[in-house]
């Protein structure tokens, strides 16, 4: 099996981007070691603080964020870092010309119940000739030079793309990342969908119609049955879709008409959309391609419909 180092050295990617990916992988390996020990490492439960989103931080949210900031800063593999857990981006003097936005531990509500969680990262080109700030992260997702995640599940897997397809690597007992999937792809047709059905009475009509047809199965206009999954960790649901197809949705909600959705554009929707498109799928906010959206705020939220191209085209078409 090819190692991560061997894959990167043969990828043609710039040496500093290769180094960035290696440091991300190493740091996520350290996060995974904490996650795997759980209660034994004293890392479960609440941190006793809130993040910029107003969400209660778990201890592991803070630990993962600190490990990523320390690891990326000390290696100077990026010149600025943005995180779900930090109000503003931080500058790394002398860092390589990349901006890294990350969700250090996605799916935190699952930490204390031992369900898969993950780290999501997005790599953008840094501005030339200036010290970067929050505003420099506000680039459409199609400008990403790399994106990926590490899922801390039954096995620890690094899934990422440099823009030439999606590769998966599994962490072995000696701490090596070994390639386990050379190219991930999402079948155009779907058999499974993922959405938090407890919100169904708050969905807008196009989502009501689309999910209603999935539920009708063989007896409805789709003339086939579908299965449903909802892990509550975007990383776990998207990983399943990259592995065996399907659709993931987190739509806007009528309870808060001004809030476009729950998920964050820069460090959840954009990196996952990059992977999904690289794997032959599609990703929209219900109206337009997510990777084409022009961000306006570092922690901007967005509605997300991603996965099997035929399904995303259909549900996006229902939005008119
Ligand atoms: P809900 C985790 O908090 C997260 O940001 C995503 O990882 C996940 O898909 C979603 O929120 C789950 O949201 O409302 O079902 O708890």
Q: What pLDDT shows up at residue 2?
A: 97
Q: What pLDDT shows up at residue 269?
A: 98
Q: What pLDDT shows up at residue 38?
A: 86
Q: What pLDDT shows up at residue 8?
A: 98
What are 16-65's pLDDT values in tens digits? 999 999 999 999 999 999 999 988 888 788 888 888 777 888 889 999 99
Angle, helix 205-216 to helix 309-318, in steps of 10 degrees = 130
Q: What pLDDT shows up at residue 49?
A: 87
Name the closest-CA residue to atom 2, ligand 1: 107
Q: What pLDDT shows up at residue 257?
A: 85
Contact 234 CB / ligand 1 (< 6 Å): yes
> C-alpha distances in angstroms, 261 versus 137, 198, 275?
20, 15, 20
Q: What pLDDT shows up at residue 75?
A: 98
Residue whose CB lies within 8 A of the most ligand 1 atoms, among 64, 113, 117, 234, for a mutation test? 234
Residue whose CB lies within 8 A of the most ligand 1 atoms, among 55, 85, 106, for a mutation test? 106
Within 13 Å and on the Cβ side, how many CA atoms surround 190?
A: 30
3-state secondary structure string across the chain: CCEHHHHHHCCCCCHHHHHHHHHHHHHHHHHHHHHHHHHHHCCCCEEEEECCCCCEEEHHHHHHHHHHHHHHHHHCCCCEEEECCCCCCEECCCCCCEEEEEEEEECHHHHHHCCCEEEEEEEEECCCCCCCCHHHHCCCHHHCCEEEEEEECCCEEEEEECCCCCEEEEECCCCCEEEEECCCCCCCCCCEEECCHHHHHHCCHHHHHHHHHHHHHHHCCCCCCCEECCCCCHHHHHHHHHHHCCEEEECCCCCCCCCCCCEEHHHHHHHHHHHHHHCCCEEECCCCEHHHCCCCCCCCEECEEEECHHHHHHHHHHCC
Residue whose CB lies within 8 A of the most ligand 1 atoms, among 104, 107, 240, 265, for a mutation test? 107
Name the closest-CA residue to atom 12, ligand 1: 232
**Residue 192 predicted with pLDDT over 80:** yes
Q: Which atom of ligand 1 lies at the shortest distance from residue 233's CA?
A: 7
Structural domains in the chain, sorted by start: 4-181 (3.30.540.10), 192-318 (3.40.190.80)
Name the closest-CA residue to atom 3, ligand 1: 107
Euclidean distance between CA atoms 120 and 319, whole angstroms? 28
Q: What pLDDT shows up at residue 41?
A: 81
Contact 107 CB / ligand 1 (< 6 Å): yes
Give mean pLDDT, residues 95-115.
95
Give mean pLDDT, residues 176-201.
96
Give mean pLDDT, residues 250-273.
95
Contact 232 CB / ligand 1 (< 6 Å): yes
**Band of pLDDT at residue 98, cut at 50, 70 and 90:** very high
What are 218-247's pLDDT values in tens digits? 999 999 999 999 999 999 999 999 999 999
Task: Kindly report the pTM of this predicted structure.
Answer: 0.97
- Please report, rounded to a whole number, the percentage of residues in the chain having pLDDT higher than 70: 100
Residue-averaged pLDDT of the chain: 96
Euclidean distance between CA atoms 283 and 272, whole angstroms? 9
Contact 196 CB / ligand 1 (< 6 Å): yes
Contact 114 CB / ligand 1 (< 6 Å): no
**Residue 163 predicted with pLDDT over 80:** yes
- Please report, rounded to a whole number, the percentage of residues in the chain having pLDDT higher than 90: 89
Distance 114 CA to ligand 1 centre (A): 15
Give mean pLDDT, residues 70-78.
98
């Amino acid at each position: 099996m090819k190692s991560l180092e061997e894959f990167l050295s043969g990828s043609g990617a710039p040496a500093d981007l290769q180094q960035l990916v290696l440091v991300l992988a190493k740091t996520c390996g350290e996060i995974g070691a904490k996650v795997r020990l759980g209660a034994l490492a004293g890392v479960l439960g609440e941190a006793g603080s809130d993040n910029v989103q107003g969400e209660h931080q778990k201890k592991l949210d803070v630990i993962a964020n600190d490990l990523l900031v320390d690891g990326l800063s000390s290696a100077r593999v990026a010149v600025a870092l943005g995180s779900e857990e930090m109000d503003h981006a931080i500058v790394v003097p002398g860092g390589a010309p990349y901006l890294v936005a990350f969700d250090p531990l996605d799916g935190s509500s699952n930490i204390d119940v031992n369900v898969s969680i993950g780290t999501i990262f997005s790599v953008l080109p840094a501005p030339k000739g200036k010290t970067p700030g929050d505003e420099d992260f506000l680039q459409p997702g199609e400008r990403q030079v790399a994106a990926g995640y590490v899922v801390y599940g039954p096995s620890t897997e690094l899934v990422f793309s440099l823009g030439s397809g999606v590769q998966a690597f599994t962490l072995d007992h000696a701490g090596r990342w070994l390639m386990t999937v050379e190219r991930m792809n999402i079948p155009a047709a779907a058999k499974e969908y993922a959405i938090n059905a407890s919100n169904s009475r708050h969905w807008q009509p196009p989502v009501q119609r689309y999910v209603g047809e999935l539920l009708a199965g063989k007896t409805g206009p789709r003339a086939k049955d579908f299965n449903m999954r909802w892990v509550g960790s975007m990383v776990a649901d998207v990983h399943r879709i990259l592995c065996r197809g399907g659709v993931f949705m987190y739509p806007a909600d009528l309870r808060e008409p001004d809030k476009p959705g729950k998920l964050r554009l820069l460090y959840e929707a954009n990196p996952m959309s990059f992977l999904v498109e690289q794997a032959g799928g599609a990703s929209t906010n219900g109206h337009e391609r997510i990777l084409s959206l022009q961000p306006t705020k570092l922690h901007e939220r967005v509605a997300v419909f991603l996965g099997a191209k035929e399904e995303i085209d259909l549900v996006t078409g229902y939005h008119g």
